[in-house]
Amino acid sequence: MSDQTMAAAPQPTVGILPEEADLHTAEARVNKHKADWRGWKFMWPFAVVFVFVFIIPIVYAIYISFFKKQMVGGTKFVGFENYARLIQDPQFWSSVGRVTIFTVFQVPIMLFLAAAMALALDSMKLHGTKFFRISTFLPYAVPAVVSTMIWGFVYGAKYGLVGSLNDFLGTNIDVLNPDVLLASIANINTWEYAGYNMLIFYSSLSTIPHSLYEAASIDGASEWQIVKKIKLPELKGSLAITVIFSIIGSFQLFNEPSILQNMVPGNAITTYYTPNMYAYNLSFTGNQSNYAAALAIVMAIITMAIAYVVQLKSMKEQMK
């Protein structure tokens, strides 16, 4: 027999019988397909908190939305009666329409300002970039309740900054007037979250190598062409994220109108000014927690549907 034939022939395992070798091979094959749970050992603390803080409350809200508390007879199963009532509730649709208008106007303005600030930072031509970056992000670190109280004082037509300007200029400006109140709330939200979105845009721009800018400049590209052809396309991915987060935040509008409610004269901010305010007042003031749960579930579905449509559109744009 030649050396090549001997090398090609299977060699017996030294010190191990053929039956033992087959057994070890079978065990190795079984262990290869055995589930590995080591990753879950690291994830279980978060998973437990997520289930108790997020999943269980949602399931419970869905459960109680099919019931109704009655003065006589206690809690009664009513099926989809709360949802049918919600569809015919003009106060609910009024609040939804209000936050929709708020979202349509406030979100584009805020994201435009955030993108402009991010482009200014990335241009490397802005003096005091560290101070500018911190100062624009600082409003996000201020709690919404505190920032709303600060802006409520600024908006005050009698004792606030607007009132002082009216006395100085001889004008009669009232930014808490019901006609412009929603715009005033939008201004507070823009001040709070523009810096946060600016950092997201700036992080995306930071991934672009500056050698690409230098090459474009050598080829004769102007500053605007660099922004249009290189920087703006890079912001598409982060733009989708910021749009989704902003839409979710807008439909959850609660702190600003609820704090300003006591500062605004008359009944400009009603108990159903936003869907979240309506659900809160139904549950804790009107003792209608079941109906409030149905409202919360419907708003969650509406918000998720809008966010999903935005995400699909963004994915199609990025694939072009």
What pLDDT is attached to residue 219? Answer: 81
Token pair for 93: 């649709």
CA distance 9 to 71: 88
What pLDDT is attached to residue 228? Answer: 84
Looking at CATH, the fold of the domain delimited by 88-317 is given as MetI-like fold (1.10.3720)
Give alpha helix (H) positions in the chain: 3-8, 18-32, 38-50, 56-64, 81-87, 90-122, 129-141, 144-155, 161-169, 181-206, 210-218, 223-226, 232-234, 236-251, 255-260, 275-284, 289-319
User: What count of Cα atoms within 13 Å lies in the side-chain half-sphere of residue 297?
Assistant: 21
What pLDDT is attached to residue 281? Answer: 93
Best CA proximity match to 144, nearest among 95, 193, 177, 181:
193
Map tokens 């590209």 to a residue: 221
Q: What are the residue boundaries of the structural domains of the chain, listed by start?
A: 88-317
Task: Provide the mean pLDDT of the chain.
Answer: 84
Which stretches of the chain score pLDDT less than 70? 1-35, 72-73, 318, 320
What pLDDT is attached to residue 4? Answer: 47
